[in-house]
Structure 1
């Protein structure tokens, strides 16, 4: 047996927490672990040992995209099996397992206004027709809120918007800014339900066009506006409420302070902001595969990092809620919808793109389910706001 094959044998033996079957490029099939294989990994050709050791996420991600690797079974379960093996105390010092760390690449990029627009357009401007195939009816591309396991994805997304708007305790005539408004569901609902004046901003031209169309179709021009712009470009305006859903992950570590100082300038004194975002338990850039193919310039902030920045900008944190398993369910719905729409997607995108997107959705679901990352909603005020409800009962009338 050659040295590369020896390396692979040892590496695969220590990579997964569940029993699995591995088919190597020479046709040799090896079973690892005890019991029936939970999934099967097939190597159609070897991936360089140096590539695996230096950056497993990129090596395996590209290997799967390029059909060097095939997966039979649930892609989500494969990723979860890796995570559970990594977290085992018995394997923390294992030289093979430490190579499998997936959340460790500290890529720093300057997300200035020009670069931020490029990064957002890379991910979001690949066609509304594509997103429409696997998102829900509201075209909401963020963590849903499941009041019941039986909720449909559409109902859960409606629940999420209602949950956020309820937390903001909106009153008629107030002004609301949505930073990174997506396809507009939140600002449109806010205007219709609470009679507030809402501004949504986005860097995606595809999203902007769709939101503008919805505003006109629903006759909400007097209450809702949308702008194709960076939040740092808003000048001379103040808002009673500022909300941001799934946007700060695109800001980058070096611009987090700028985000909070900008929100402080945009909020009226005593105003309230809600930040809905993916969080980590340690400061870490997204891995290099995600940075290269999914969210260039992305960064997952740590909870303590965000709370510290709120305090330094004289924000008062009044509510913090984790929705981690809600995001697991959301991603599982998206992944299922993606597979159901595969015959149509195959006419729109090539196989490399399809494998990339499948890996993205399933690996995110695995990351949330295993607790590698979380989803939090932070509610905070600019300065002291003594008029806020004393209990959370206002959220659940």
Structure 2
């Protein structure tokens, strides 16, 4: 009786995935924090000593199986997943008053920073962007592609990586002027949501959606993505292109925490971000944060990847678009210098010189490898239903 009571006390310390134990006397009891998925069967009374109970539970039961004392009933996948389940990670940003303080601080900071860059006026961006107003790295499938063709290539490639299905809900965090969500709804039949903090982008996107006859199929939200309530919004797929760089170093865990909560189990997340390739992962260039992107922070690739497992985001694929961004920026710089003199007087000569060196300097940064830009394909937890290869993403249709 002592051994059963001692084992019962040890089993009650298990706070992760649930299972049932059938003891050697025929009685059964459930353990863990979730409904049981398999059964541990004691064929006979074990011969362990009280000191053996200090072992990890998976070691104790695994050793008993090897000795023939224990058998299992149920899926081996469930058994393995439960045995290797990790304790939940608690970061100081997640809980309590500190998290709320940081959340409000980040919302206020991010809105001001986005306004400082993206609300400079659509007439500015129209001098160098293509007709879709896509302000992120394009994808040049052919050397002869126009900027418009390359931007549509990028949007198409990004959505292919999400394996969209009709009727799914898609969220675009930092949706810009809305081209991606409009394209996704028209081509894949998804209900697409975009979220932005830029009033200029929001107004233009709403007008475009109405003009395209997509009211009710495409929605744009003028709000901070951190304010989206996961009880009200759950998405099959999430995409974020060129927004991660605005989050800020100490807020990166908040970003991934929110994405993880908004994404359904098994759902896919495409993260497209500029990446700092400095091995010491130094802070973003001071000139850039002072004049172009206040509050911006280009995360290091190691820094970014290390955060994925903390929020149950599993990496399925990665692609570098470094050379594509160099070519995109070259096209932007050329167009800006052709059209800059047509800008209103509020964009003075100093402003034009500032944006000229910003565009051309970034082009050099990508061409020389100081910066990279990558697309990560991530799943919320394990997804075993995807194609075994990525071949379909790049095949011509």
Establish whether residue 149 from structure 1 lines up as the match of residue 147 from structure 2: no
| Alpha carbons 2:127, 2:340 under 8 Å: kept | no
Q: Secondary structure at the match of 1:173?
A: coil
Select 1:322's aligned residue among 320, 323, 339.
320
Aligned-residue offset at 1:111: 6.1
Distance 2:105 2:114 in 1: 11
Q: Once the 2 structures are TM-superposed, how far is the Cα of residue 134 of structure 1 from its aligned partner?
A: 1.0
Per-residue deviation, residues 177-217 of structure 1 (Å, max 9, x unmatched): 00000010100000000000011000100000000000100
Q: Distance in 2 between matches of 1:135 and 1:386?
A: 39
Which residue pairs with 1:291 in the alignment?
289
Q: Give a deviation string over 1:15-53, Cα, whole Å, max 9, x none.
A: xxxxxxxxxxxxxxxxxxxxxxxxxxxxxxxxxxxxxxx
Equivalenced residue count is 288
Give the aligned partner of residue 122 of structure 2.
128
> Which consecutive residues of structure 1, in runs of 5 or more, have no partner in the other structure?
1-109
Tell me which residue corresponds to 2:222. 228
How far did 1:396 drift?
A: 2.5
Q: Deviations over 1:289-317 (max 9, x none)?
A: 11111000111111111111011211110
| Aligned residue in 1 for 2:310 | 312
Report what 2:343 is aligned to.
Answer: 345
Q: In the TM superposition, what are the counterparts of 1:123-272 in structure 2 within 5 Å?
A: 123-235=117-229, 236=231, 237-272=233-268
Structure 1 position 346, deviation (Å):
6.1
Q: Counterparts of 1:343 and 1:116 in 2: how far apart (Å)? A: 31
> Which has the higher mean CA deviation after the structures are superposed, 124-133 or 380-389?
124-133
Q: SS state of the match for residue 181, structure 2?
A: helix
Task: Tell me what 1:392 maps to.
Answer: 390
- Out of 252, 276, 290, which is 1:280 matched to? 276
CA distance in 2, matches of 1:255, 1:352: 33
Describe the superposition over 1:152-197 as per-residue Cα deviations: whole angstroms up to 9, x where unpaired.
0000000000000011000000000000000101000000000000
Question: Once the two structures are superposed, what CA deviation does each residue of 1:116-142 show, in whole Å capped at 9, x if it has no partner?
Answer: 000000000011111112100111000
- Preserved contact between residue 194 and residue 220 of structure 2 (Cα < 8 Å): yes
Given that 2:168 and 2:236 are in contact with CA atoms closer than 8 Å, whether structure 1 keeps it comes out as yes
Q: How does 1:75-86 map to 2 (within 5 A)?
A: none
- In structure 2, distance between residues paired with 1:138 and 1:348: 24
* CA positional deviation for 1:369: 0.5
Which stretch shifts more, 347-356 or 270-279?
Answer: 347-356
User: What is residue 28 of structure 1 aligned with on the other side?
Assistant: none
1:358 to partner: Cα distance: 0.6
Question: Partner residue of 1:69?
Answer: none
- The answer to whether the 8 A contact 1:198-1:223 is kept is yes
Q: After TM superposition, give the deviation of residue 390 of structure 1 in Å.
A: 0.3
- Per the alignment, do residues 358 and 111 of structure 1 end up closer, same or farther by CA in structure 2, a change over 3 Å counting? farther
Q: Does 1:373 align with 2:371?
A: yes
| Aligned partner of residue 266 in structure 2, secondary structure | strand
**TM-score of the superposed pair, with normalisation by structure 1:** 0.71
Q: Secondary structure at the match of 1:332?
A: helix
CA contact (8 A) 1:238 1:268 kept: yes
Distance in 1 (CA, whole Å) between partners of 2:394 and 2:367 is 27
Q: Which has the larger radius of gyration?
A: 2
Which structure would you say has the larger RCO, counting Cα contacts within 8 Å and 6 or more residues apart?
1
> Is the 2:325–2:363 contact (alpha carbons within 8 Å) kept by the matching residues of 1?
yes
Q: Are the aligned partners of 1:284 and 1:299 in contact in 2 as well (CA < 8 Å)?
A: no
Equivalent residue of 1:368, what SS? helix
| Equivalent in the alignment of 2:34 | none
Within 2, Cα distance between the matches of 1:219 and 1:180? 22
Change (3 A) 1:111 1:146: farther
The separation in 2 between residues aligned to 1:129 and 1:250, in whole angstroms, is 22
Match of 1:72 in 2: none
> Aligned Cα RMSD in Å?
1.1
Partners of 1:111 and 1:255 within 8 A in 2: no
Q: Using structure 2 for the length normalisation, give the TM-score.
A: 0.71
Once the two structures are TM-superposed, the CA of residue 149 in structure 1 deviates from its matched residue by 1.3
Aligned to 1:278, the other structure's residue is in SS state strand
2: CA distance, partners of 1:396 / 1:248: 25
Shift of residue 325, structure 1, vs aligned partner: 0.4
